[in-house]
Structure 1
Amino acid sequence: MRNTICLALIKNISFAVIFLFTVNTLMAQPIQKRSSKSPNIIFIYTDDLGYGDLSCYGATKISTPHIDELAAKGIRFTNAHTTSATCTPSRYALMTGQYPWRKNGTGVLPGDAALIIPTDKISLPKIFKTAGYRTAIVGKWHLGLGNEVNKDWNSAIKPGPNEVGFDYSFIFPATADRVPTVFLENHHVVAADTTDPIRVDYKNPVGNDPTGKEHPELLKMASSPGQGHNQTIVNGIGRIGYMQGGHQARWTDEEMPLTFLSKAKGFIEDNQQQPFFLYYALTEPHVPRMPSTMFKGKSGLGYRGDAILQLDWTVGEIIKQLKYLDLYNNTIIIFSSDNGPVLDDGYVDGAVTQLNGHTPAGRLRGGKYSILEAGTRVPFIISWPQTIKPAISPALVSQIDFIASFARLTGQKIPAGQATDSEDHLNAFLGKTQQGRSVLVEHAGTLAIVSGDWKYIHPSNGIAYYKLTDTETGNSPEPQLYNLKQDIRERENLATKYPEKVKELQQLLEAIRNKP
């Protein structure tokens, strides 16, 4: 009897040891605590958000508490820039590390454009992918798809984001005001229907869908005269371009940002056990501004203000999820915009009539489409709670420098002759120094160069004022010179007073333009 009991005890003890060994072994498998040396990176890129659109940048007519939280716990830059005053070229520079004016075809693209990002060269997502990160884009793309303008939207569409370095992509092709108004997940249109094939044309009408020009009575948001947003109507809104078919696949504007948020959160959750890079490209506050119902009328500034409240809430949802998954402290969150603000950019949505004293550009002059400072100087915040100390930085930095800077962070080397305009300013991005670039070229209808406190705008015969969007472009047939330290509003042209400085900056700009 005693031997039987002893044998039973031995068996139970052996089973317990084997069980505990198995559990410990399984727990020691790849699902283990991440190294603090591998931070996650989330780049939240807004669309047409101005320097003065956030309360942490001085706005008093609107409150953005979640973005303010990022600023309070990270670095808020006051002299940070896109390369360009419009979206496609800014995004091209971000992805390639090359000034967009060096390459033809990098202007604002139609929705059926071919891919303009090289697939055989370094890119921002490839920096992280090579370093072992999982990479994803969720949101606006606007850098072209496929090898040709004429493409079959009903089958696999490539090359695209996946071919330039993203493991996962959930996008819309161009902008929300351009057809096709569909989501693409990796290479395929979501909810595509072979019995209702999609066709897109930017020159000639296709299909039988009503247009805003012919049927304005069907619009739930009127198009601004002369801006071209009066072609195929989708979701009661006139778009740029003509679209046929794909009725099941067409998104509605009110649910589109929430879909992007769901996909972004899903990617974060699925990759919480490994380092990841998420390029989260929001559409707010780009036109057409049709915020989700819970935000309509909340800002008192028209739909544009409501869209800003919506994007701030979205940032809060990302922060909330990171905290829930215990990823927040070791995640670098970058928040910025692709260019400066614009109010009337195609639709009558209250942005102008309900402005209520709000100043989207803050103290700056100009806006989207402008070579003046409000065209490229944008909100720019970097948060990394476990590493970055809260600060306000005056460093001159640009989004074009992400490739070189994150290459150093991840221990990558940039191939010779690639990303040649990108500079390593990781120390400035992480708050270790307040010294950034010595020189930056800005791009709109013409070029400008900033060196120290001085800004030189190259002469241009382009129009000086866009009546349709109420924007000062900064174009002038005469050279312009401003001291930004003394005159951030760019009111006093000092070119005739300091001809030697003009000559110096002209030569410097020419040298950069001729750089191989």
Structure 2
Amino acid sequence: MVTGCKMEFKLKISQCGSNLMLLILIQLVVTSYGKPNVLFILVDDMGFNDVSYHGSTQTKTPNIDDLGTKGTVFTRHYTQPVCSPSRGALLTSKYAIHIGMQDGVIVGTVPAGLPLEERLMPAFFGDMGYFTHAIGKWHVGYYKNEYLPTKRGFDTFFGFYESGVDYYTHSRFTDHFFGLDLHWDTAASNTSQPIWGLFGNYTTDMLTQHAKNLIELRDETNPFFIYLSHRAVHHPTQCDTELINRFGGVWNATRRNYLAQVASVDDSVGELVQLLEGEGILDDTIVVVASDNGGQICQDCGQSNYPLRGGKNTNFEGGVRTPALIVGPGVQSGKTYSDYFHITDWLPTLMDAVGGDTRDLPDDVDGISQWDAISSDDRRGSEKGPRDEILVNIHNMYGEAAIIKGDYKLHYVLGGLHEGAASDWYYSTGPLNHTDRDRIYEMDGWILPVVNCSEPDDATACVFNPKEESVCLFNIKEDPCEYNNIADSEVEIVDELMERLAYFNSTMVPSILKPSDNQSNPALRDNVWGPWE
């Protein structure tokens, strides 16, 4: 019987086969004394206004907030505009244009994957003696066995290969095909092992419990690297009534149900932190919580990027500026980091944080280690972050591009924004009334007033003409809500940023996306999604 997000649930080791117990308990030959554990929690589609420390009067994220007070909170954390490209950028430390993922997500019927010549984050941690685990959403390709998580550096994987999995049945529809997408894989496996016995268990709880099992059964002679990539808070809004009732004061039903999903993730963070503390290893563990992109804006989604413009799948701030924090040994406590940090920066930053050598990374990574800027070590800590430029993306299929340099952000659009782009300002599920924007600061307690919007000026509004080339420029330091287009008055800056876009365009590799393949149909493989070539 399904009891929802906060059911009493204990994942039985036997349900995942004897290999799980064997692999978790195995004693590795390599020893890595002195290196901290790493728990990287990636939330799916959580909007800028969906954590209470950003001042939302609706969201309740006490556990995430508490971590923020003990570590460093990033107020300018940037990602790619959508799921697969962000995950690819995180795992490789490269912009989406440099791994062929600039044009969108890898749908489950597409024979494509994160290029095999790319070495991924877990492989570098494995080199340093870490036992590496991936839990939850993969979404960077699986059409061949070589693309599975355990073939890319993870010792174990428990989760789903694509997006869109039902929170209770763990199955999904993609291109009119239907099948189970829940797997347990180990590095020793030649194929994926489907898990049928967990029907009815809520996904967020199930993934959290698996992470807790791994921590409790860890090999204490080696540190662990756990990549917990949640299904939540991606729509549809499926959650338990008890959690929904926490938000009875929220009038919009879609927003209310969505906030219950946010609460389930926050509860998960609380449970894991409590376990780490109970195991006596909290002070020896680096914890990261971040969203993969901005919240999706649609009638039945419920996310909010307020007061930023736009949402998921756009280059506006609401699509790529997300909540993120880090806490753990060596991290400055109570710090608000307002310099630029890009999702590609996590790999080199974390390698520095655990005492690795970033010279082991490929020469062509786009990520920059920001450890010196957030380290509590007085010998390393610096006031200014090292990043002054961010390529937001170049999307050839849509004819859209954006780049940030210094205080300025340039948007280039050829032929108008793509259909369905959420390019307006939204409080939750409806358009934002600009007179209400100060409500973000009404909540009592610890709030980061990270966004102070300028006044919108209709005379300088950024309008993209569907029949011609359009360029808009914003001073996002003074105008983070992207109200006022200053392209006409800052021609030299426009020219400079267009030159930078031209340079990045010259370095772009071809898109890896391909047409769907009917051989992906899970009906051909016992109704289970998995590799088909």
Task: Provide the TM-score with structure 2 as the length reference.
Answer: 0.71
Q: What is residue 163 of structure 1 aligned with on the other side?
A: 151
CA distance in 2, matches of 1:474, 1:329: 50
Distance in 2 separating the partners of 1:259 and 1:418: 39
Judged with a 3 Å threshold, the aligned counterparts in structure 2 of structure 1 residues 306 and 512 are, in CA distance, closer, same or farther, namely same
Code of the residue aligned with 2:489 in structure 1: it is K
| 1:299/1:309 contact within 8 Å kept | no
> 1:452 maps to which residue?
406
Q: Counterpart of 1:297 in 2: which secondary structure?
A: helix
- CA-CA distance at 1:159 after TM superposition: 3.4
Unpaired runs of 5+ in structure 2? 1-26, 166-171, 174-178, 186-190, 249-254, 427-461, 509-533
Structure 1 residue 362: Cα displacement: 2.6
- Is 1:324 the counterpart of 2:268? The answer is no
Residue 183 (structure 2) aligns with: 184
Q: Does 1:174 align with 2:122?
A: no
Which amino acid in structure 2 is aligned with residue 144 of structure 1? G
Aligned to 1:490: 482
The change in CA–CA distance for 1:102 and 1:442 in structure 2 (over 3 A counts) is same
Q: Amino acid of the residue matched to residue 500 of structure 1?
A: E
In 2, Cα distance between equivalents of 1:474 and 1:388: 42
Which amino acid in the other structure matches residue 411 of structure 1?
G
Q: Deviations over 1:144-183 (max 9, x none)?
A: 1132xxxxxxxxx553101111011111111135444421
Which amino acid in 1 is paired with 2:142?
L
Match of residue 137 from structure 1: 134
Of 442-451 and 124-133, the range deviating more from structure 2: 442-451
Count of residues in correspondence between the two structures: 409
- Provide structure 1 residue ranges, at least 5 long, that are not aligned to the other structure: 1-28, 148-156, 192-247, 352-358
Q: Distance in 2 between matches of 1:139 and 1:469?
A: 30
CA drift at 1:110: 1.6
CA distance in 1, matches of 2:418, 2:58: 29
1:51-450 to structure 2, matched below 5 A, reads 51-82=48-79, 84-104=80-100, 107-114=104-111, 116-147=113-144, 157-177=145-165, 178-179=172-173, 180-186=179-185, 187-191=191-195, 248=196, 251-252=199-200, 255-271=202-218, 273=220, 274-300=222-248, 301-344=255-298, 348=300, 351=302, 360-384=304-328, 387-409=331-353, 410-414=355-359, 417=362, 419-430=364-375, 432-433=381-382, 434-443=384-393, 445=398, 446-450=400-404
Greater Rg by CA: 1
Whole-Å Cα distance in 2 between the matches of residues 271 and 306 of structure 1? 31
Structure 2: how far apart are the matches of 1:463 and 1:68?
Answer: 35
Partners of 2:418 and 2:94 in 1: how far apart?
Answer: 27
Shift in Å at residue 514 of structure 1? 2.5
> What is the one-letter code of the residue matched to 2:214?
F
Residue pair 2:388, 2:406 contacting (<8 A) in 1 also: yes
Counterpart-to-counterpart distance in 1, 2:346 and 2:315: 22
Q: Which deviations, in whole Å up to 9, do the C-alpha atoms of 1:344-383 show, x marking residues without a partner?
A: 27xx47x3xxxxxxx8213211111111111110001011
- Measured at CA, do residues 163 and 34 of structure 1 come closer, stay the same or move farther in structure 2, by a change above 3 Å? closer
Between the aligned partners of 1:474 and 1:373, the Cα distance in structure 2 is: 16
**In structure 2, C-alpha distance between the alignment counterparts of 1:74 and 1:435, rounded to whole Å:** 16
Matched-pair contact (CA < 8 Å) for 1:405–1:424: yes
Give the drift of 1:489. 0.9
Q: Distance in 2 between matches of 1:475 and 1:322?
A: 50
Output the aligned Cα RMSD: 2.9
**1:270 partner letter:** L
Cα deviation 1:117-138 (Å, max 9, x = unaligned): 2344321111111111111110
Conservation of the 8 A alpha-carbon contact between 2:88 and 2:99: no
Q: Kindly tell me: are residues 265 and 115 of structure 1, through their superposed partners in 2, closer, same or farther at Cα, counting changes over 3 Å?
A: farther
CA apart distance, 1:293: 4.7
Residue 292 (structure 1) shift = 3.7
Mapped to 2, the partners of 1:30 and 1:427 lie a distance apart of: 31
Counterpart amino acid of 2:164? A
Is the CA contact 2:410–2:472 (under 8 Å) kept in the aligned structure 1? yes
Identity, % of aligned positions: 27
Contact 1:482 1:494 survives alignment (8 Å): yes
- C-alpha distance in structure 2 between counterparts of 1:450 and 1:438, whole Å: 8
Cα offset, 1:272, TM superposition: 5.6
SS of the residue corresponding to residue 304 of structure 1 reads helix
Counterpart of 1:63 in structure 2: which amino acid?
K
The structure-2 alpha-carbon separation of the partners of 1:503 and 1:251, relative to structure 1 and needing over 3 Å to count, comes to farther
Q: CA deviation at 1:262?
A: 1.1
1:475–1:342 Cα change, 3 Å? farther
CA contact (8 A) 1:370 1:474 kept: no
SS at match of 1:317: helix
1:288 offset after TM fit, Å? 1.7
Give, as a single letter, the amino acid of the residue that structure 2 aligns with 1:422.
Answer: G
Match of 2:13 in 1: none
Whether the aligned pair in 2 keeps the contact of 1:85 and 1:371 (CA below 8 Å) is yes
Is structure 2 residue 43 aligned with structure 1 residue 46?
Answer: yes
- One-letter amino acid of the counterpart of residue 440, structure 1: I
